[in-house]
Chain A
């Protein structure tokens, strides 16, 4: 009986670890897909530059209130990076702002700020950053 209980405990422990590993694999797969999308959107600006001069890039610095830890940084980075047209995101916890580079034909700084507000943070006046 004791051996059976031990065997059951071992099986349940191994199955729990397996569930966690599968979950981590699936999440990393979706993270890789997001990275691939980012790489593709990184390639697009170069192509846009050479093929269509009307597609311009914009840079903005958006002050953000309410960020308290690295989880907030990760959540903001993931959400903004997933927006169509955003090519680069830098979130600064020390300066409490977000710097973004984006394709102006696909997204605006105001839209990005709205996305940040929708996540529960509070944005301030957007500052355009010259390249």
Chain B
């Protein structure tokens, strides 16, 4: 089912109350993640970052996934507030440089994932906060290029149903749904990494994480090259 089909099927329920409207927006966000081709490589990237964080820093990687999730939610809140300007982030020129930015961020994450085990504990501690901020920025920029179009569709359908006044809150609930799968992926990756906490697997997980993030970077380089 496409997002268009879902919204056309359930849009009529929106005027029945805020609960219905926000619930539809939340499910629309999850569906937008399900149908977006970027979800799979980014999910792989998220699992890699969390796994690498768990093994190199020996702390929970869930805050990383939560920061990424918040980046998506905050971005969609901002886009919802600036609904009239959505067209500016939907141009090919913007998309080209967005893809390049994602490729660079993923490459940086791959480098950090790889050199993590080489660093001393004190250096790792100093990277913890930038790691959370980095995950937030990663989520924010990811959402910028992948969520604006579905959000525009949701707001257009909501406006047609007379729900113009709650556009910002619809955007927030849409963001919660959009980021929810990545939160689950981060949680699952953290649990799996904890279960394989044996030192013999640690280096394998770190290597696999770095390689996965390189693959994500290459994916976005291909997207960038398609625009050139």
Q: Hey, which bits of chain A sit against chain B, CB under 8 A?
A: 6, 9, 12-13, 16-17, 20, 23-24, 27-28, 31, 35, 65-75, 77-78, 90-94, 96, 122
Given the interface pairs A16-B210, A93-B90, the reply to whether A71 lies near B38 with Cβ below 8 Å is yes
Measured between beta carbons, the chain A residues less than 8 angstroms from B150 are 68
Question: Smallest CB-CB separation from B223: which chain A residue?
Answer: A74
Asked if B95 and A74 make an inter-chain contact with CB atoms under 8 angstroms apart, the answer reads yes
Question: Smallest CB-CB separation from A69: which chain B residue?
Answer: B146
A78 to B228, CA, bound (A): 10
Give the residue of A20, A35, A66, A74 whose beta carbon is less than 8 angstroms from that of B99: A74
Q: Hey, which bits of chain B sit against chain A, CB under 8 A?
A: 2-5, 32, 35-38, 86-87, 90-92, 95, 98-99, 114, 117-118, 145-150, 152-153, 207, 210-211, 214, 217-218, 221-228
Asked if B35 and A31 make an inter-chain contact with CB atoms under 8 angstroms apart, the answer reads no
The total of Cβ contacts below 8 Å across the A-B interface reads: 95
Measured between beta carbons, the chain A residues less than 8 angstroms from B147 are 69
Given the interface pairs A13-B114, A94-B90, the reply to whether A69 lies near B211 with Cβ below 8 Å is no
Question: Distance in Å from the Cβ of B40 to the closest Cβ of chain A?
Answer: 10
Asked if B37 and A91 make an inter-chain contact with CB atoms under 8 angstroms apart, the answer reads no
Supplied contacts A66-B4, A73-B92, A94-B152, 12 more A-B pairs, CB within 8 Å: A13-B114, A27-B221, A27-B222, A31-B228, A65-B5, A68-B36, A69-B38, A73-B95, A75-B226, A92-B90, A93-B149, A94-B90
